[in-house]
Amino acid sequence: MATKPKRVFTCTECGGVSPTWRGQCPRCGVWNTLVESVAGAGRKGHSLGEPSGVPVPLGSHPNEDFRPFPTAFSGLDRVLGGGLTPGGAVLLGGEPGIGKSTLLLQLAGLAAVAGRRVVYLSAEESLPQLKARAERLGVLHEGLLAASTTDAGAAVDVLGATPAPDLVIVDSVQTMHMAGIEGAAGSVSQVRSVAAACVEAAKRGQACLVLVGHVTKEGQIAGPKLLEHMVDTVLYLEGERRHLFRILRVLKNRYGPTDELLVMEMREAGLIEVPDPSTFFLGDRDPAVSGSAVVMAVEGRRPFAVEAQALAAKSFLSVPRRAALGLDVGRLHLLLAVLEKRLRLNLGQADIYAKIGGGLKIQDPGLDLGIAAAVLSSFYDRPLPAGAVFWGEVDLSGRIRPVAAHDTRLKQAERLGYGPVLCPSAGSLGPDVDNLSDLSRFLFSKS
C-alpha cells in the first residue's frame, strides 16, 4: 500500500521547513512566507549519471582544468575574475526590464564569435523574439544555439550532452518547470528543484551554467535564499530603467573578487561598458547652485565622482518631511540629528530632501560628509566652492572619520583636478577638517 505523501510548509524566503503552518517562519523570522509543499519533492531529479557522494582520497583525484575562459567582454571578465569557469554556476539577478536578457544575449553572441559552443534556453521568449533581438544587437552567429522551452529536463539534457557546450544560459529559473515536482513554475519546490538539477548537471560536466533570477519588490532574488548558496557566483544588475546606465555588482564569487563592479550604458546596440566612470555620473552639474556637493565615492575597487544633492525648504507641516533617493533614509535622519545637535541648527522647521544624482544607489560611508555639506549649503542657500570634493564618515559626536580607500580617492581627486579636498587627512590638497564645526567654518564663515 502506497504511503500518503507527507506535506510540510516551506519558507519562500530562506527555504526552511516546518511540519505545521505558522504565521512566522521559525528559521528566519519572516512573516507569512510558509507555503505548503510535499516533503522530499525537491530530492527528485538528482539521478544524473553515476552516483555521487562516495568519499575518495582527495590527493589521488585526477586534476581537471578549471581555468576560466574569456568572454570577449573585457569588463565582465574583470568582474568575474578572468572569465567564465567550466563547471561553474552563475546566478544573475535584477529587476524586470533592467537588461538581464540583453546582457546575456550579448555574452552568448560574443562567446559564439570566439568559437565557443553556446546554448541559450529561454522560457520567456519565443525563438522569433530571440532572433529579432539578436539581430538588433548584432550577435547572430552559427555557433549560437537557442531553444524556447519551460521544461527544466531539457536544460539538464543540454548540460549533459556530448560534446558538452561551453556555456548554457537558462532564462529564467523561476519560469522553468521540473516534471514530477508538485507546484507551479516559480513556487519554492519548483525553483529549488530546477536550480538543484541544473547546477548538479553543470558540476558533472564542463559547461558553465548561467541562471537568470527574478527579484522581489524588496530587491532580493526571488525564491528560497539557499538558491544563492547553490551557485558559485551571484551577480546583480541594477539601475533605473529611465536612466541609461547600469551597474553590475558581484555579491558572491568563488573564483574571483567580490568587490568589483562594472558600469555600463544602455544603447540601441545593447549594453556598452563605460571605460572611465570617474565623472560619468555628474552629468551637467551646475556648481553655482546651492545644495550640490561632489563626493568621491568608491564602489568595489573603483573611485568615481558622484553628486550629492539636498534641498532644505520651509515646512508648513507639524512633522517636517524627510525623503531620500539613492541612500538610506535612516542615514539621512541620523546626519540631520547630528547637524542639528552639534551645529545648533533649527532643522525642525524645514522639509529636507536628499538624493544621489544619476539615479545611483550608494552605501559608501564616505558619502556622509558630502550629504552634510549639501544640506548645509541648501539650508544657508550658499553654493559650495567650485571644484570642492568631499568624503568622510560622520559619527554621532560630529567628528569626521577616515574611510576605506582614502589614498585611492585622494589620487583620483588629484588626477581629476578637484580642489579643495575636504576629508580627514587631506594633506596639501585641502584644509584639515576633523569635525562638522571645522566644515561649517571653512565653507560658510567667509564673507
Same domain? 207 vs 261: yes
Domain total in the chain: 3
Is residue 188 a part of any domain in this protein?
A: yes
* Contact (Cβ atoms closer than 8 angstroms) between residue 296 and residue 305: yes
HSE at residue 74, side-chain half, CA atoms within 13 A, is 4
For residue 50, pLDDT over 50 is answered with no
Above pLDDT 90, what percent of the chain? 49
The better pLDDT of the pair 9, 199 is held by 199
Whether 4 shows a pLDDT value over 70: the answer reads no
394 with 264, same domain: the answer is: no
79 and 194 both lie in a single domain: yes
- Of the candidate ranges 256-270, 305-319, 371-385, 430-444, the one whose mean pLDDT is the lowest: 256-270
- CB-hemisphere CA count at 13 Å for 405? 19
* Last residue within a domain, chosen from 220, 240, 273: 273
d(CA 169, CA 154): 12
The answer to whether position 436 is within a domain reads: yes
Residue 369: CATH number of its domain: 3.30.230.10
Q: Residue 58, class by beta-carbon neighbours within 10 Å (0-12 exposed, 13-18 middle, 19+ buried)?
A: exposed
Domain co-membership, 165 together with 256: yes
The residues pairing with 272 across neighbouring beta strands, listed in sequence order, are 265
Tell me, what's the pLDDT at 158? 93
* Cell digits of residue 278: 570617474
Question: Is residue 302 in some structural domain?
Answer: yes
User: Is 408 in the same domain as 315?
Assistant: yes
55 located within any domain? no
Domain match, 303 and 434 both: yes
In this predicted structure, the answer to whether residue 153 has a pLDDT above a threshold of 80 is yes
Establish if 45 belongs to a structural domain: no
Per-residue pLDDT, 289 = 93
**127 shares a domain with 247:** yes
Cα–Cα dist 250/273, whole Å: 16
Q: pLDDT, tens digit, for every residue of 54-106?
A: 687 877 766 666 788 888 888 898 888 889 999 999 999 988 888 999 999 99
pLDDT of residue 53: 58
Residue 261 lies in a domain: yes
Please tell me the predicted confidence (pLDDT) of residue 446: 62
- For residue 284, is it within any domain? no
pLDDT of residue 43: 42
Q: Give domain status of residue 279, yes or no.
A: no
**For the ranges 75-79, 171-175, 330-334, 430-434, the one whose mean pLDDT is highest:** 330-334
Domain that holds residue 20: 7-40
Q: For residues 76 and 190, state if they share a domain.
A: yes
Q: What confidence score (pLDDT) does residue 78 get?
A: 87
CB atoms within 10 A of CB 39: 13
pLDDT (mean) for 8-35: 78
List, as residue ranges, the binding site for ATP.
94-101
Which CATH number is 104's domain given?
Answer: 3.40.50.300
Helix (H) or strand (E) holding 207: none
Pair (231, 309) in one structural domain: no
Q: What pLDDT band is residue 221 in, cutting at 50, 70 and 90?
A: low
* Residue 230 and residue 129 share a domain: yes
Read off the pLDDT of residues 350-408 as tens digits, 9 standing for 90 and up: 999 999 987 788 889 999 999 999 999 999 999 999 899 999 999 999 999 999 999 99
Do residue 388 and residue 318 come from a single domain? Answer: yes
Q: Which residues are annotated as a binding site?
A: 94-101
Of 217, 245, 273, which one is at a domain's C-terminal end? Answer: 273
What pTM, to 2 d.p., does this model score? 0.76
Q: Are residues 265 and 320 in the same domain?
A: no
Query: Among 57-71, 185-199, 232-246, 307-321, which stretch is predicted with the lowest mean pLDDT?
Result: 57-71
